[in-house]
Chain A
């Protein structure tokens, strides 16, 4: 269980989500990485370019400072790591189950939050936008790819999510082993 908790430390170093975009003019691709505390471009200046392009359709600019999530997430994961370690030290299966449930709840909450941001970002367009396509909104996909005008946008988990996945699997494994042990007649 300690390993499961420690896995999450990887999130402080690697982005857990990526949005990649391709368009005829961007053969090299352009995109952003989402970290637990930041959003960055695939390449150094991608975010600036994305904001420049998006102003044509009236999307808000993306700036790290505008996301309260980036302030909260490092603490949330810090808590999860501490909680997980405590569970390991105490050897409490119940705590592990609680931990896993928390992870699942937070994961679902995260997806809902991400969807809501995407909805807001893609629908709340500036009335001054130079390019207006009737009926068109630009909500990025939650998972998978979507064609938005000339841009094909893809949204996928990234390296950091592997840590989350492994962590959840380890925790699940711990619970399963403990159950298996306790069910065994002795």
Chain B
């Protein structure tokens, strides 16, 4: 009996011990491991207070319409640069100087959807002078100057629907490209039935020439192409740098329920375009001048006021047999991204409905063109034989491969949307070598120094579409995340996961030391050519011309001149031209007026900005400095007296002395 009991007890103890050991084996070790990993990851992203990150990251804001700037690897948020949307925080799109930037042939548009920032390049490497970024909805491209981190120019693209395959630059910034995602009738304002799609609708691929000195854009020519959806584009590199590539989907030419109707064909196309040849044809008169209406908005000289130049025509090149500048490469299936590796040889398409990642070879493509290995033509465009251009198909890439970037060490990294992961694969064997989760549903990814001939390949950022449970919950609509991975080793390692602004659609990162030497600290007052600038404090004044009242006002710590204004009348249009006379880095002043139907206006040191105000009621209107500029910032205020429309209160102004 006793023996039996003790055997049972021993058995129980043994069993408990076995479970404990098993528990330790299966859970103990991994948790310790993950602790070590976390510490390792934390060290890799730690940038001590006061020290600077190694990279600037420029993340598009997607439906915010803006561009956000981050320090990497710490993921410090640095700034939002307003581009296509009004920004009441800075007065962008509210001040008289910046409103013209948002003008289009459809009038003033306060918003757009910004997708693909792309840094200007020299010899296939990012040179950090400008960033171009596209507006998707009302097709435009903006140029942001990286000396001031401000939007300096916006060009509208005529006769284009959904400028998504944009704004990628060629390897010496000769061109920035744009394209139609939603084909529309090319002819301006054409009113036709939607089911005339195949006959009347067309796509337009835009080639915008860039000035090598100023980065300024000029619409050089458009190529008229069949009514597909031109989804993404990239310029070639090295041997392929005379070419650009666009993906297409909807070669079915559907115009309704595209989710079904545009997903029928097994293959769509990658369009390969020799832009140099196309430009030559245009120079030799092959293009046709067509009417168009589009806005070109930019700052002229140092006046600090954006101007609108309205263009009324565009050169259009329609492919014809024998012109040899455009080819279609069949590609499975509804491809999304098209990405060119650093050597310029591999053209990787992300077939979002495909079961493989197809890789075309640029040299094989040239051979196929030379040997005329065509499987047909469509609207004067040769379709190359799939087998003639394809060099590899990456098997088992996960579900929904979208975009690929490269590390310059022989590996490619593809974002995979549906299975929410990043797969790393070899450009030699076309086999997957590593994969890592993304949180959640990854769209674009980017590699530091990427989409150039010499990527830095230290970090990879995944730009994802939903946060779900990743952070403290913030209601039904949460900000979209990004994840930072270390890709310097054989295995990818997740370092950070952080929310961003809007939808971080695509991003680029550049070594900070390329950019920082050129960053300005102030605008020089000596160079301020604004027609309403106040160059000397003593010149502060008010001028009336009919119902228009112009206040020439200065701000220095801690007062406005003038700060007492009388004689403004209901019905007047008042322009407050505020010049910030400070010449010290980061000493910003702002102005806001009670009841003004406008945002505040922030003014950087040495700048002049104008607030338009139409008072509708009589009374005393306080105004004040909105930027906490100094110890006596709270005292930086003034009053404007508004009298009845028929009053005869004299126009006077003063500061102090009472």
**Contact: B584 with A131, CB < 8 Å?**
no
A56 to B631, CA, bound (A): 9
Residues of A within 8 A of B583 (CB): 44-45, 48-49
Residues of B within 8 A of A152 (CB): none
A52 lies within 8 A of chain B by Cβ: yes
What is the 8 Å Cβ interface bit string for chain A, positions 34-64, against chain B (1 contact, 0 not)? 0000000000110011001100100000000
The listed residue (B558, B584, B635) touching A49 by CB distance below 8 A is B584
A131 to B582, CA, bound (A): 20
**Contacts of B535-573 to chain A: CB distance below 8 A:** 556-558
A134 lies within 8 A of chain B by Cβ: no
Residues of A within 8 A of B585 (CB): 28
Interface of B is mostly: loop
Residues of B within 8 A of A131 (CB): 631
Q: How far is the CB of B625 from chain A (nearest CB, A)?
A: 14
B522 lies within 8 A of chain A by Cβ: yes
A28 to B584, CA, bound (A): 11
Given the known inter-chain contacts A45-B583, A130-B632, please indicate yes or no for A52 contacting B522, CB distance below 8 A.
no
Q: List 7 A-B contacts (CB under 8 A).
A: A48-B583, A52-B556, A53-B557, A56-B557, A56-B631, A130-B558, A130-B632
A12 to B632, CA, bound (A): 40
The listed residue (B557, B584, B630, B632) touching A45 by CB distance below 8 A is B584
A53 to B587, CA, bound (A): 12
Residues of A within 8 A of B635 (CB): 130
Binding site for B on A (CB under 8 A): 28, 44-45, 48-49, 52-53, 56, 130-131
Given the known inter-chain contacts A52-B556, A52-B557, A52-B582, please indicate yes or no for A45 contacting B522, CB distance below 8 A.
yes
Q: How far is the CB of B207 from chain A (nearest CB, A)?
A: 42
Residues of B within 8 A of A28 (CB): 585
Residues of A within 8 A of B632 (CB): 56, 130
**Which of A28, A44, A45, A130: most chain B Cβ within 10 A?**
A45
A49 to B629, CA, bound (A): 13
Residues of A within 8 A of B557 (CB): 52-53, 56
What is the 8 Å Cβ interface bit string for chain B, positions 579-609, against chain A (1 contact, 0 not)? 0001111000000000000000000000000
Residues of B within 8 A of A52 (CB): 556-557, 582, 584
**Which of B556, B584, B630, B632: most chain A Cβ within 10 A?**
B584
A53 to B632, CA, bound (A): 11
A149 to B215, CA, bound (A): 47
Residues of A within 8 A of B584 (CB): 45, 48-49, 52
Q: How far is the CB of B327 from chain A (nearest CB, A)?
A: 56
- Nearest residue (CB) in B for A44 is B583
Residues of B within 8 A of A45 (CB): 522, 583-584
**Contacts of B36-79 to chain A: CB distance below 8 A:** none
Q: How far is the CB of A20 from chain B (nearest CB, A)?
A: 16
A130 to B632, CA, bound (A): 8
A49 to B630, CA, bound (A): 12
Q: How far is the CB of B650 from chain A (nearest CB, A)?
A: 28
Residues of A within 8 A of B630 (CB): 56
A44 to B584, CA, bound (A): 10
- Nearest residue (CB) in A for B582 is A52
A35 to B584, CA, bound (A): 23
Known A45-B584, A49-B583, A56-B631; further 15 A-B contacts with Cβ < 8 A = A28-B585, A45-B522, A45-B583, A48-B583, A48-B584, A49-B582, A49-B584, A52-B556, A52-B582, A52-B584, A56-B630, A56-B632, A130-B632, A130-B635, A131-B631
Q: How far is the CB of A26 from chain B (nearest CB, A)?
A: 9
A38 to B62, CA, bound (A): 54
A28 to B522, CA, bound (A): 15
Q: How far is the CB of A58 from chain B (nearest CB, A)?
A: 13
**Contacts of B248-262 to chain A: CB distance below 8 A:** none
Residues of B within 8 A of A130 (CB): 558, 632, 635
- Nearest residue (CB) in A for B522 is A45
- Nearest residue (CB) in A for B631 is A56
A56 to B557, CA, bound (A): 9
- Nearest residue (CB) in A for B656 is A128
A44 to B527, CA, bound (A): 14
